[in-house]
Amino acid sequence: MLEILLLVEEKKIMLHKIQLKPYYLPILIVVGCLVFILNLDALYINIMEARNFITAREMLTHNNWIFTTIDLMPRYEKPPLPTWLTAISASIFGIKNVFAYRLPAALVSIFMVIMFYKLQLKLNIKKYTAFLGSLILMTSFYIVFSGRDGQWDIFTHSFMVACCYFFIKMIELEKHQYQNALLAGLFFGASLLSKGPVSLYALFLPFLVAYAITYKFKTSPALWKSISLFIVVGLISGTWWTAIAHYYDPEAFAEVANTESTRWFSYNVRPIWYYWSFFTQSGIWTIPALMSLFYWYLKPRVSNFKAYRFYFLWTIFSVILLSIIPEKKSRYLLPVLIPLAMATSFYVEYAIRNFKDNFSKLEKIPVWLNFGVLTLVSFALPFLLYFGLKETIWEMKYQYLLFSIFLVALGILFVYGITKTDMKLLFSLQVLMIVGILSFGFPLLKLIAPERNSPNVAQIRSYIEENDLNMYDVSGLFPELIFTYGKPIPLSIEEYGDDLPSEKEFGILVNEESTPEWRSRFEKYQLRFVDTLNLNPAISKGNNVRLIRNFYIATKK
């Protein structure tokens, strides 16, 4: 009888453990959907994604799947894998649907978070710490921005994270070694086919160096065979498109290759120390990220020193390699944020476990500063929105009120967490803040959308179609306009030949500040000014002259 009672009690304990088991991966997927997919079409498109979307659209409208184009001109600057995925999404959900064009980047961001989490488990990091790191990764500023934006950086680095995961499985001599080598090679190739060797240089190479220093590499004849398979599969799957484009369109491809290679050393050149504020790109995690870089401070305090050391070195080596290249842009720091998120999670975990009992007054300062700033932002943002948008805000009053209620409630919870010194609650609220901004705040971006300006692109196209005219641009490629316009706008500028359009009457768009001599080419035409098209955000009309075109009707005299 006693044995039966003990068995029943044991079953109850096991059932209780099962019920309390944290489902970290499903939670990450749900949060990932909220962060990357919800209100995905709220933000107006920028120049980078406009270029990519035009290329994807022309795959569908002109069948340019291999020899990629923008405004029907060759575009070989970027390999085509992300563009293919984007074109497929647009073919399913609608060629005019911005959500459809951005969806692949959002999905691949969620995929990156999943592979990142699995990578931590492979390195024997505790599930809870890996969970924290994954939450920090997906709510870091530039990860959020890239995952919700139609840029190809997120593709190349997401595929490389998957490559790192299967590469570790391969070198640890697990079962199915050749299968892991094949998968690592395919994801390596997918990364190359997304943005060339960018992630190889900025993410994979520092990963290898940091891993070699921290964990060492096991060697065996079988491993060398697997590595050979990995290299062959990676290079073939990642470079075949480059070979085809170079072979069949050598002149255009060579011109692009020359331009892109020289840009690394002559375009947007910044000093070598330009990236050393890299931790600020993590946005809401800036202060914890900075604290995670105090290596000698955290060394005796983290739960897994070996793993922390690996991610610290991976972060630093990535920054160093990026700093060597003369061309520098903030968005190039995206790969640094991946290992930095995990390094930050070790500091966050340490704070959660030890803040009440083991933190000195000095140690508590950055923690209180972090949550003090977030509390202040929570209470201040509703007022900043009101004074920034003024009466316009009342066009979406219910959305504004909902967002304001969320922010005030969040601020109150921050105050409560601070008074109770509940670090777990406070760091959870930090994640919730990003989710809430994207869920309740992003719809308000419609109030500053360029299509609110008058005339907008739809009105210009309607005017052109009603008068049965063709449209030309005499000031150079304007990607945001071309994508919104819905079809190519041919260029009529001197570098593309002196021939003017053959029609007797046609529309022209001109940026008179960038092309002041344009009228000399139209001396035989009567020019009638119609209106000014402005694609700046509605609250900052005129700030960026590149986004302004004067619209004329040219009629042959």
How many other C-beta atoms are found inside a 10 Å radius of the C-beta of residue 398?
A: 8
**Chain CA centroid to CA 119, Å:** 20
**Residue 70 Ramachandran class (φ > 0 left, ψ -120 to 50 alpha, else beta):** beta
C-beta of residue 37 within 8 angstroms of C-beta of residue 106: yes
Same domain, 371 and 404: yes
Residue 92 lies in a domain: yes
432 and 527, same domain (yes or no): no
Residues of the chain falling short of pLDDT 50:
1-20, 495-497
Written as six digits, the tokens of 316 are: 């630093």
Distance CA 267, CA 283 (A): 26
Residue 18 counted as domain residue: no
Residue 56 shares a structural domain with residue 182: yes
CA atoms of 465 and 204, how far apart (whole Å): 50
Instruction: Please tell me the predicted confidence (pLDDT) of residue 541.
Output: 60
Placement of tokens 């009228």 in the chain: 519
The alpha carbon of residue 145 and the mean position of all alpha carbons in its chain are separated, in whole angstroms, by 5
Domain boundary among 327, 350, 373: 350
- Same domain, residue pair 424 and 281: no
Q: Is residue 257 part of a domain?
A: yes
Q: How far is CA 131 from CA 30, 145, 254, 430, 436, in A?
A: 13, 21, 45, 15, 20
Tell me the two tokens of residue 248: 């069949």
**Residue at 219 is within a domain:** yes
Q: Are residues 514 and 365 in the same domain?
A: no
Six-digit token string for 329 = 């842009």
Q: Give the dihedral of Cα atoms 318, 323, 326, 327; nearest 10 deg.
A: 60
Residues 390 and 386: their CA atoms lie apart, in Å, by 5
Asked if residue 382 and residue 257 are part of one domain, the reply reads: no
Query: Does residue 5 fall inside a structural domain?
Result: no
Q: How many domains does the chain have?
A: 3
Torsion, CA 288, CA 293, CA 295, CA 298, rounded to 10: 10
Pick the closest to residue 535 from 517, 523, 551 (CA basis).
551
**In the prediction, which pLDDT does 545 show?**
86
Radius of gyration of the CA atoms of the chain, in A:
27
Residue 3 in any domain: the answer is: no
> What pLDDT score was predicted for residue 499?
67
Task: Give the distance from CA 384 to its chain's centroid.
Answer: 26
- Dump strand ranges (E) for 120-235: none
- Which residue range(s) make up the domain with 457? 451-556
Q: Which of 350, 376, 408 is the last residue of a domain?
A: 350
CB 208 within 8 A of CB 215: no
pTM of the model: 0.92
List C-alpha distances in Å: 39 to 100, 268, 379, 439.
Answer: 12, 33, 23, 7
Query: Which tokens sit at 301?
Result: 């305090």
Residues 270-286 have pLDDT tens digits of 888 899 899 999 999 99
Compute CA distances 195 → 49, 55, 80, 321, 556, whole Å. Answer: 14, 15, 8, 17, 45
DSSP string of 498-549, one letter each residue: SPPPSSSEEEEEE-TTT-TTGGGGGTTEEEEEEEEEE-S-GGGTTS-GGGEE
Inside any domain, residue 22:
no
Tell me if residue 72 falls in helix, strand or coil: coil
Write out the H or E segment, with its range, that includes residue 65. none
Indicate whether 222 and 188 sit together in one domain. Answer: yes
Q: What is the three-class DSSP state of 114?
A: helix
Three-state DSSP state, 73: strand
Considering only CA atoms, which of 522, 422, 478 is closest in space to residue 70? Answer: 478
Where is the domain boundary, 448, 475, 494? 448
Residue (of 370, 364, 394, 393) closest to 539 by Cα position: 393
What is the token pair recorded at 554?
């040219």
pLDDT of residue 85: 97
* Whether residue 326 has a cis bond before it, omega within 30° of 0: no
8 within some domain: no
395 and 485 within one domain = no
Do 478 and 344 belong to one domain? no
Question: Do 339 and 380 sit in the same domain of this protein?
Answer: no
The answer on 372 and 313 residing in a single domain is: no
